[in-house]
């Protein structure tokens, strides 16, 4: 029997399936969240305020719990690979905070009357094997009948409160390092449209399967305070969230940003996923309260695009929704080169892509 093709079930797969950041931000601003009476808010080290990668609650002076969840529809046709990538993506939020993963729960939406159960078995095995690689355990989960299928994890991790890494601690003068190349959303779309070659597609799958576990280890080694993982809102979408949380401007040098092989060629052929335009809209309409109105808008992005090699299409990859992407790390200039060297031994695409600057009229500058 031929293997079931998971990509046949979706239009948007992986982190491209996220609700647009602009819509989500407005929705969350309209919801009235309340703390229960007597709740000690000072122990909630990271919550909703900064749109960070995970929630963090301080248990005592030595230990804080990191709690996160992530799930999505398939981004590839092979069930086992889907399970691996979905698990790696969910685990990444703990690594973004500098933490160690303890355990996870499966989140499964699967139509058992439409797709053979062997497919679900392969998805789960991929998740189990990736969590094992993380030196953690899957301790249960929850399953509902739903189409298209979706898979992910709820994850618990731990960290010492004094070593917590957040998206709110970038400081002017820091150097920005990106640990994985951009373009996975475009490669996935290219595969669905039969526009990508198999070699480049395989490279993208391998990059997405790679855990960010060693990034977390090296960030702790070099006492990094600010980082975020790059997923569904694209490099610039997550960069804006870091800039807002830290009250800084991130200056991105486009020519230094690493891209997956074939990603730029696909954009040149017109393969630009819809999520890229949603992320672009969010970034274009997000500027500091003290900024001159309209400093960062669509015409501004087009103007910047004309100034970089590769032009508009390369710029659009900065908005590309990443699945199981890399970390954007803010590191002091004196530690940047040695950290980069150690990262490149494990994550060969790692690159210095810009600097953190004082906040003036814009959260993001592209040069």
If you ran DSSP here, which 8-state letter would residue 116 be given? -
Is residue 127 exposed (0-12), middle (13-18) or buried (19+ Cβ within 10 Å)? buried
Q: What is the number of alpha carbons within 13 Å of residue 269 lying toward its C-beta?
A: 14
For 204, the token pair is 């993208």
- The Cβ of residue 7 has, within 10 Å, a number of other Cβ atoms equal to 17
For 87, the token pair is 């698990």
Rg (CA), the chain: 20
Q: Report the relative pairing of strands 364-366 and 248-252 from DSSP bridges.
A: parallel
- Which are the contacts of 240, defined by CB distance < 8 A and separation ≥ 6? 282, 283, 286, 363, 364
| 31: helix, strand or coil | coil
For 122, the token pair is 């392969």
How many whole angstroms separate alpha carbon 59 and alpha carbon 192? 46
Active site residue 271: no
Q: Are 185 and 321 in contact (CB under 8 A)?
A: yes
- The Cβ of residue 334 has, within 10 Å, a number of other Cβ atoms equal to 8
- Residues annotated as catalytic (active site), given as ranges: 15
């Amino acid at each position: 029997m031929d293997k079931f093709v998971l990509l046949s079930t979706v239009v948007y797969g992986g982190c491209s399936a996220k609700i647009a950041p602009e819509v989500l931000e407005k929705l969350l601003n309209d919801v009235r969240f309340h703390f229960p009476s007597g709740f000690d808010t000072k122990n909630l080290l990271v919550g909703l305020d900064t749109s960070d990668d995970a929630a963090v609650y301080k248990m005592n002076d030595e230990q804080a719990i990191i709690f996160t969840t992530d799930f999505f529809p398939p981004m590839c046709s092979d069930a086992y690979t889907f399970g691996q990538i979905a698990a790696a993506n969910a685990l990444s939020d703990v690594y973004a905070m500098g933490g160690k993963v303890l355990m996870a729960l499966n989140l499964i939406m699967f139509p058992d009357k439409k797709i053979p159960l062997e497919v679900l078995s392969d998805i789960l095995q991929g998740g189990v094997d990736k969590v094992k690689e993380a030196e953690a355990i899957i301790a249960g989960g929850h399953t509902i009948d739903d189409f298209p299928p979706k898979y992910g994890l709820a994850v618990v991790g731990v960290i010492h409160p004094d070593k917590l890494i957040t998206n709110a601690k970038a400081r002017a003068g820091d150097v920005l390092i990106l640990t994985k190349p951009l373009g996975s959303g475009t490669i996935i779309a290219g595969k669905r449209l039969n526009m990508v070659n198999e070699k480049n597609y395989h490279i993208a799958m391998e990059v997405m399967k790679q855990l960010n576990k060693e990034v977390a280890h090296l960030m702790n080694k070099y006492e990094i305070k600010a980082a975020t993982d790059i997923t569904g809102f694209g490099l610039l979408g997550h960069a804006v969230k870091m800039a807002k949380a830290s009250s800084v401007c991130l200056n991105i040098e486009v020519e230094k940003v690493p891209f997956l092989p074939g990603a730029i060629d696909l954009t040149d052929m017109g393969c630009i996923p819809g999520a890229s335009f949603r992320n672009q809209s969010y970034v274009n309409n997000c500027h500091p309260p003290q900024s001159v109105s309209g400093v960062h808008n669509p015409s501004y992005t087009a103007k910047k695009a004309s100034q970089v090699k590769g032009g508009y299409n390369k710029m659009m990859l900065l908005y590309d929704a990443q699945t199981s992407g890399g970390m954007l790390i803010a590191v002091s200039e004196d530690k940047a080169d040695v950290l980069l060297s150690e990262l490149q031994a494990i994550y060969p695409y790692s690159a210095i892509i810009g600097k953190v600057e004082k906040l003036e009229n814009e959260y993001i500058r592209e040069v």
